[in-house]
Amino acid sequence: MQLTDEEIRMRDGADGAAVAAAMDLLIRYGEALGAERLVDTRNVAGTMTQPSPAKAQLVREGGWAKAYAVINLDCDDDIEIPRMKVPTCQLQHGFSDDAEGLTAYSPQSIELQTDAENYYSERGVNILATCTPYQVGNLPVRGEHVAWMESSAVVYANSVLGARTNCEGGASTGAAGLTGKIPYWGNHITENRYATHLLQADARIDTFQEWGMFGYFVGEHVQEARPAIVGSFAQPDLADLKHFGAATATSGGVEIFHIPGITPEAPTLEAAFGGGAIPEPIRYGEAERRWVYDTLNAQGESDEVDFILLGCPHASLDQVALVAHLLEGKRLKEGTELWVMTPRALRTMADRNGYTRAITRAGGKVLTDSCPAMSRAAPPGTKVFATDSAKQAHYLPAILGIEAWFGTLEECVDAAITGRWRGALA
Ligand code: F3S
């Protein structure tokens, strides 16, 4: 790999042992990927604070520096961790104390995470604590090279924002924060960003649910390739595109998509394909739409629902406001739980707007930091859950062994009030 003089000095220890370890990791990682060089980044979104038994053990042995060295730098030496060199944020992690007592999630994990937040904040890590950093101030610009983790955030950054990132991991982001470097390969390179597949929506895509279902279909068909989508859809908003992207990265491994006329790197269909040949479209009509709906509802049997989960990816303020509005003057059915997951910063706004109060008064909860899939925890005794998220409907039955219903936000709120699933494909 070609290194600049600055990178050679960092590798050789001019900026301290932790930076040298980080450079060593990035060089090994880049060479394994066939990258010819590193690229500068000033935007890293990773995970340092997520609690785990292995991390707890490392902290007992040598404090947070030891945990960072081993887990985020792949280094066994006793080293000090300096302040991050470039802006770095913590993505979603485990539940925080707002979920204490609501699940079987361990108080020790919450304590460990709080301790980690203090340690990493002092080193310049912004604790955004969300899978949607782009909703709370981390908004890279088009063409910016960033180093992000979390599949739903990565596909949003590449596709909707036009930033450039691969789906990084805890180690590469740990090293990127300390160096401001990441291997230049994959989605960082223009030629690797052009569309490879064309998907045509014949069925109308005009709601949050429809965007999620279409995304699930797209991911299933293209897997890790790069789709361009055309057809019958209304102008999407932020929530639609975060649902669409998350769904493509759930049934498949999509990291970038293009919507001609809407996403920044596709002013035209021709531009989406980089001027290359445009393939025959894969079509999404009523039969395909029905297939997606039935697939996402395949784990639902009993119509008696005891848990409703909204906010995956973490809810926008508008989504929280809509839940609050639908619950105005209503009360959750006894024995039914409703959780709305949102970033901490948006919960503060929801508090100030009275949305949290309206949801809480009805018996629901507005929670932050994590989600049931991430923390592998739901209200005790949950047997049947309902959600408006294709991603959560896909993962949670397998993670927690519970039944799942997938529908609209309105159908989910109805289930919270009645305790019954009455959803149907419109
Ligand atoms: Fe976020 Fe959890 Fe969904 S981390 S994308 S709310 S699975």
Residue 163 sits in a domain of what CATH number? 3.30.499.10
Q: 303 and 290: one domain?
A: no
- Given 251, 268, 295, which residue is the final one in a domain? 295
Instruction: Answer yes or no: is 324 within a domain.
Output: yes
**169-214 per-position pLDDT tens digit:** 999 999 999 999 999 999 999 999 999 999 999 999 999 999 999 9
- What separation in angstroms does the CA of 419 have from each of 154, 336, 377, 385, 423? 35, 6, 20, 10, 12
Q: 55 and 184: one domain?
A: yes
Instruction: Answer yes or no: is 423 within a domain.
Output: no
Q: 118 and 130: one domain?
A: yes
Report CA(52)–ligand 1 centroid distance (Å).
18
The mean pLDDT of 102-107, rounded to a whole number, is 91
Report CA(152)–ligand 1 centroid distance (Å).
8
Question: So what's the pLDDT on residue 205?
Answer: 98
Split into its structural domains, the chain has a count of 3
Report CA(80)–ligand 1 centroid distance (Å).
32
Instruction: Answer yes or no: is 160 within a domain.
Output: yes
Q: 314 and 289: one domain?
A: no
- Given 173, 190, 207, which residue is the final one in a domain? 190
Return the closest-CA partner of residue 172 out of 323, 338, 29, 319: 29
Q: Which positions ≥6 away from 104 have C-beta within 8 Å? A: 377, 380
Q: 235 and 174: one domain?
A: no
Instruction: Answer yes or no: is 99 within a domain.
Output: yes
Write down the residue that tokens 């309206």 correspond to. 358
- 341 close to ligand 1 (CB < 6 Angstrom): yes
Q: 209 and 92: one domain?
A: no
Look up the domain containing 395 and give its range.
299-418
- 152 close to ligand 1 (CB < 6 Angstrom): yes
- Whose C-alpha lies nearest to ligand 1, atom 1? 313
When pLDDT is cut at 50, 70 and 90, the band that residue 276 belongs to is very high
- 342 close to ligand 1 (CB < 6 Angstrom): no
End-to-end, the C-alpha distance of the chain in Å comes to 55
When pLDDT is cut at 50, 70 and 90, the band that residue 402 belongs to is very high
Q: 278 and 251: one domain?
A: yes
Q: Residue 280 has what DSSP assignment?
A: P
- Given 190, 207, 229, which residue is the final one in a domain? 190
Instruction: Answer yes or no: is 414 within a domain.
Output: yes
Q: 23 and 149: one domain?
A: yes
What's the rounded Cα separation, in Å, for the pair 224 and 217? 13
- Whose C-alpha lies nearest to ligand 1, atom 6? 312
- 391 close to ligand 1 (CB < 6 Angstrom): yes
Report CA(42)–ligand 1 centroid distance (Å).
24
Instruction: Answer yes or no: is 424 within a domain.
Output: no
Could you identify the atom of ligand 1 that is nearest to the CA of residue 92? 4
Q: 94 and 181: one domain?
A: yes
Q: Please state whether the predicted TM-score (pTM) of the whole model is above 0.95.
A: yes
Q: 241 and 361: one domain?
A: no
